[in-house]
């Protein structure tokens, strides 16, 4: 993780697997990943349900909020503390998300989702970083640099 920033597009959740994984390389029949917790490398085949944390959003009443933004809001509420345990009661988890993301849609963001989000947050906090790479800002910067190069070539 360059510059101690976490790139959520490279952090993966794998259905049926505990913890989070960092994408390392493409394999002939899947992806080579490294567990954040113990740094063990494994290969998941193409049949595995792999999801990048960057692609996950949480439903609110107005819009969908990217997981990165949810993590940032959780960090504002928690400071340096860990998030509640995924084994916390439903009431504790709902109370926590009422503080961190008060506009969450209770009909579409279930307690089972909350358990995953707090587990992922704690995993990132303890084994990676809660300082995230801003992929959208980097893409805009690259576009601006490319446009500037084109303008210089045209002169």
Q: Which residues contact 115 (CB under 8 A, 6 or more apart)?
A: 86, 93
Which tens digit of pLDDT belongs to each residue from 12-22? Answer: 999 999 999 99
Q: Which residues contact 57 (CB under 8 A, 6 or more apart)?
A: 64, 65, 66, 67
**Quick check: 70 and 100 in contact, CB under 8 A?**
yes
Give me the pLDDT at residue 152, please: 78
Query: Checking DSSP bridges between strand 64-66 and strand 57-59, what pairing results, if any?
Result: antiparallel
| Long-range Cβ pairs for the range 73-77 (8 Å, 24+) | 73/100, 73/101, 74/100, 74/101, 74/117, 74/118, 74/121, 75/130, 76/100
Which tens digit of pLDDT belongs to each residue from 21-59? Answer: 999 999 999 999 999 999 999 999 989 999 999 999 999
Distance CA 146, CA 50 (A): 32
Give me the pLDDT at residue 19, please: 95
- Torsional class of 145: left (φ above 0), alpha (ψ -120 to 50), beta (otherwise): alpha
Distance CA 67, CA 35 (A): 20
Number of alpha carbons in the 13 Å side-chain half-sphere of residue 117: 28
Query: Checking DSSP bridges between strand 30-35 and strand 41-45, what pairing results, if any?
Result: antiparallel
| pLDDT band (50, 70, 90) for residue 149 | confident
Query: Global pTM?
Result: 0.85
**Quick check: 111 and 93 in contact, CB under 8 A?**
yes
């Amino acid at each position: 993780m360059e510059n101690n920033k976490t790139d959520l597009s490279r952090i993966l959740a794998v259905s049926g697997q505990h913890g989070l994984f960092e994408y390392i390389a493409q394999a002939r029949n899947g992806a080579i990943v490294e567990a954040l917790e113990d740094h063990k490398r494994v290969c998941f085949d193409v049949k595995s349900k792999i999801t990048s944390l960057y692609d996950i959003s949480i439903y609110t009443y107005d819009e969908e909020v990217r997981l990165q933004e949810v993590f940032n809001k959780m960090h504002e509420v928690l400071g340096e503390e860990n998030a509640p345990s995924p084994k916390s009661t439903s009431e504790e988890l709902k109370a926590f998300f009422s503080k961190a993301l008060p506009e969450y849609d209770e009909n579409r963001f279930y307690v089972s989702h909350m358990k995953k989000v707090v587990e992922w947050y704690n995993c990132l906090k303890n084994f990676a970083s809660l300082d995230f790479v801003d992929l959208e800002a980097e893409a805009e910067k690259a576009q601006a640099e490319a446009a500037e190069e084109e303008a210089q070539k045209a002169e």
